């Protein structure tokens, strides 16, 4: 299985258009210490020829342009993209669908609730139904990712609920920030090749948004060869402390790399420490997260804890 990190930043990207914070200023001037990042999206393939895109970030058009594996190779109109699968209904997960509107055949996988979001927004009808087939991603069931151009499926996926919240634009006046969802609102995706059986074959997890580590999630991830995981904030209150916003990571539905205190209690590094995962990579990294800066003590601490900080164009193979 081949994977390409198309984008590694959280919603807004790095630099974010309206942020004048130091990290964004450095990224804007091309400082290699503050490498620019587009919003999180992952391409996955069994053979390096046909690809599925996990989350259609608002930057998808530029991501395709930056990724030769996703360029057309056959005839006057074609694309190696066989399908798209979504982990939620946030803008940064689905706005890029609008870039895929030029009558290309592909399969679009999302959970029932995210399909509901798409169905209730008529703008997504630019994905003509005779080209784009919308398919339900069931929870906790392995399904083949079907390629409209090929009979035999080469990749399999299983979606599972993770703690999360409804998309920002659906919060509404009665939204309770203390209550996480743990249903098909926010999911992680487990991917693998072979026969659809999880019998030791190479498998990878893509979890760009997760509000908390639960026992169930820890058990699911234990021993995995590869996990790409929510790296939104370094500390839960960093947006407030830096004067960039009023929300904690918890309020946004994201656990933080270090959690809420200097000891890292409740943070992602601590939560993963005993899980025995071979390769751990942060994605969906917010522009305020100091680990984005290659010369920061936070970057060193993440690497020392056995994590990689994902970057756009990062290629992985299992």
Binding site for ligand MLT (CB under 6 A): 10-11, 90-92, 168, 209, 252-253
Stretch that binds Mn ion, among 3-11, 63-71, 135-143, 145-153 (CB under 5 A): 3-11
User: How many residues interact with Mn ion (rule CB under 5 A)?
Assistant: 3
3-class secondary structure for 23-56?
HHHHHHCCCHHHCCECECEEEEECCCCCEEEECC
In whole angstroms, the minimum distance from the beta carbon of 31 to ligand MLT comes to 24
Stretch that binds Mn ion, among 8-16, 119-127, 136-144, 171-179 (CB under 5 A): 8-16
The reply on whether position 89 binds Mn ion by CB under 5 A is no
Q: Which does 83 bind (CB under 5 to 8 A by kind): Mn ion, ligand MLT, none?
A: none
Residue 252 near which of ligand MLT, Mn ion, none (CB within 5-8 Å, type-dependent): ligand MLT
C-alpha dist (Å) from residue 6 to 38, 97, 142, 166, 220: 8, 14, 24, 24, 25
Please tell me the distance from the alpha carbon of residue 212 to that of residue 273, in angstroms, as a whole number.
Answer: 15
Q: Which is nearer to ligand MLT, 18 or 29 (CB)?
A: 18
Q: State in angstroms the smallest separation of the CB of 38 from ligand MLT.
A: 13
Residue at shortest CB range from ligand MLT:
11
| Interacting residue with Mn ion among 92, 184, 236, 238 (CB under 5 A) | 92
Residue 168 CB, nearest approach to ligand MLT (Å): 4
Nearer to ligand MLT, 82 or 257 (CB): 257
The correct pick among 55, 80, 90, 310 for binding Mn ion (CB under 5 A) is 90
Residues between 25 and 44 that touch Mn ion (CB under 5 A): none
Q: How far is the CB of 171 from ligand MLT (least distance, A)?
A: 10
Residues forming the site for Mn ion (CB under 5 A): 11, 90, 92
């Amino acid at each position: 299985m081949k994977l390409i990190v198309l984008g590694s930043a959280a919603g807004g990207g790095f630099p974010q258009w309206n942020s004048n914070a130091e990290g964004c200023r450095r990224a804007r001037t091309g400082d290699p210490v503050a490498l620019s990042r587009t919003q999180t999206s992952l391409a996955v393939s069994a053979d390096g020829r046909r690809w599925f895109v996990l989350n259609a970030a608002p930057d998808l058009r530029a991501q395709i342009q930056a990724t030769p594996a996703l360029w057309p190779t056959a005839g006057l109109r074609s694309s190696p993209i066989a399908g798209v699968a979504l982990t939620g209904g946030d803008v940064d997960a689905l706005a890029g669908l609008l870039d895929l509107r030029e009558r290309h055949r592909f399969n679009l996988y999302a959970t029932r609730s995210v399909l509901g979001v798409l169905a209730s927004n008529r703008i997504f009808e630019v994905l003509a139904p005779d080209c784009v087939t919308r398919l339900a991603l069931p929870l906790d069931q392995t399904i083949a990712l079907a390629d409209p151009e090929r009979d035999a499926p080469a990749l399999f996926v299983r979606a599972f609920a993770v703690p999360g919240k409804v998309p920002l634009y659906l919060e509404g006046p009665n939204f309770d920030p203390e209550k996480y969802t743990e249903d098909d609102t926010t999911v992680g995706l487990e991917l693998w090749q072979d026969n659809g059986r999880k019998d030791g074959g190479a498998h990878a997890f893509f979890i760009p948004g997760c509000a908390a580590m639960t026992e169930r999630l820890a058990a699911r991830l234990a021993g995995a060869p590869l996990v790409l995981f929510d790296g939104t904030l370094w500390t839960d209150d960093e947006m407030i402390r830096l004067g960039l916003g009023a929300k904690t990571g918890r309020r946004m539905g994201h656990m933080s790399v270090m959690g809420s205190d200097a000891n890292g209690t409740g943070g992602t590094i601590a939560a993963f420490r005993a899980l025995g995962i071979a390769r751990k990579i942060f994605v969906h990294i917010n522009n305020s997260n100091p680990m984005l800066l290659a010369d920061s003590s936070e970057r060193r601490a993440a690497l020392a804890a056995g994590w990689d900080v994902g970057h756009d164009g990062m290629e992985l193979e299992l």
